[in-house]
Structure 1
Amino acid sequence: MMMEKMRLNKYLSSQGVCSRREADRYIEAGKVYVNGHAADMGEKVDGTEEIIFDGQPVGWENTKKVLLAMNKPKGIVCSSKEKDNIVDYLNYPERVYPVGRLDKDSTGLILLTNDGELMNEILKARNYHEKEYEVRVSRRITADFIRGMSQGVFLEELGVKTRPCKVKKVDAYTFRIILTQGLNRQIRRMCAYFDFRVVTLKRIRILNILLGDLPEGQWREVTGRELKELKGGMSHE
């Protein structure tokens, strides 16, 4: 299918292959070929070329864009390069990729899609997209803990202070937290700062998409009003 020429990284993203940033890394590593030659950074394509990404052909034959919501079980990783990864576990008939990550020991809501542009919009840190988690910790929650978590915590190992966030106590050992950033193992690191250990961590919401009563290990397609609200919310940012 021929179209207006676009940068190769944008093309790969629009195909749901990976994000633009990841595409640039693969191109730089010599793992992307266009019509038999190693792709150049910034090269433009129109969809008629033979494009090989990390040994696999890429094309416009699958035009339907899908967004899936899944309740990730514990022990499943989000990196497609590791064993027991979420893409293999899901075994969806189309090639889809996780939108962001949820660490191996955590459970709950994760989105997967073949729509690279939608993936990029959801992942943009500057958009302050909300993600909500329910967390159980190893000892009784105090008012000082709730206050400290909500004000932001300097994570020395990452060299960054977390953004202020909303934290609400649920019971003696459980709280809910709404983040607008996704630092590596952020909640676990924040809790450790106050000498709390995370026992269970479950993501229950991403933007307007709710985990609800979706069984662990199961998935559903995000469609209709839910998808429209998701895209509409991002278009106004």
Structure 2
Amino acid sequence: MKKAKTLPLDKIIQGQGFGTRAYCRALIEAGVVTVQGQWCDDPDKSFALEELNFTINDEPHLYREHVYILLNKPAGFECSQKPKHHKSVLSLLPAYLRERSNQSVQPVGRLDVDTTGLLLLSDDGQFIHKNTSPKKQVDKTYHATCKHPITDEFLNQLKNGVLLHDENETIKANAARALDEYTLELVISEGKYHQVKRMIAAASNRCEALCRIAVGEIELPKHLALGQWVFLEK
């Protein structure tokens, strides 16, 4: 039977992003940390990591080797760790998630600055690759508000393939349907630059607003407000 992995409490707290090891030791020694519901002021005491629950200043946390986050991205944020013109989407997360000592938490793919909706974030390289590699062909579903009414001809162009500027081959939507006179649901599996907007333009319409509602089988929760996030359990 495989022995459960253990770590000293100060290393556990540090690895979860709560500061330097010295700062985490000070937190523990100050008596503000509980583990599995019991107060612990010994930073060197070791605990098994599996299903480890702890609190810091009465705020509950679950030990996570990796984090998988679903964010309802608002407009005006860049999907970058080093944004150039707007705030990073990472600024919407608490500091402890941005400062984990594992691989940095990063967006899984990108949404344009003015695009809203479902954005995944993680520090698990395999998860990121699975959901971004072109070879994996993961569907992405969008709702687009169009300037002109949606016609059957427009939908057929998207499904049969449109030629984007500076591209040599036509690109087809995996699915396209009208939700109302001006709202389009579009499913694609590629991730080309401004692809949805360019596809709509190539079919003689214009995208006025864009929201991603699903990545593969992961859907944007209807109750999740813009700027809010939740953990996903892999």
After TM superposition, the score normalised by the length of structure 2 is: 0.66
- Of the candidates 81, 85, 89, which is equivalent to residue 86 of structure 1? 89
Shift, 1:156, TM fit: 2.3
TM alignment of 1:25-104, pairs within 5 A: 64-82=65-83, 83-95=86-98, 96-104=105-113
2: distance between equivalents of 1:153 and 1:196? Answer: 12
Matched, 1:118 2:127: yes
Q: Give 1:217's aligned amino acid.
A: G
Task: Mark the CA change 1:89 to 1:159 in structure 2 (over 3 Å): closer, same or farther.
Answer: farther
Aligned to 1:55: none
Contact 1:169–1:175, Cα closer than 8 Å, also in 2? yes
Cα RMSD after superposing both structures: 1.6
SS at match of 1:217: coil
Alignment correspondent of 1:211 = 220
TM-fit CA distance, 1:67: 0.3
Query: What one-letter code is carried by the residue in structure 2 that aligns with 1:194?
Result: A
Between Structure 1 and Structure 2, whose CA radius of gyration is higher?
2
More displaced 10-residue stretch of structure 1: 192-201 or 137-146: 192-201
Where structure 1 has 5 or more consecutive residues not aligned to the other structure, the ranges are: 1-61, 228-237
1:168 lines up with 2:177 in the alignment: yes
Q: How many residues align?
A: 163
- Corresponding residue for 2:29? none
How far the C-alpha of 1:127 sits from its partner, in A, is 1.4
Aligned to 2:14: none
TM superposition score normalised by structure 1? 0.65
- C-alpha separation between the residues in 2 aligned to 1:216 and 1:132? 17
Deviation at 1:160, TM superposition (A): 4.2
Percent identity of paired positions between Structure 1 and Structure 2: 31
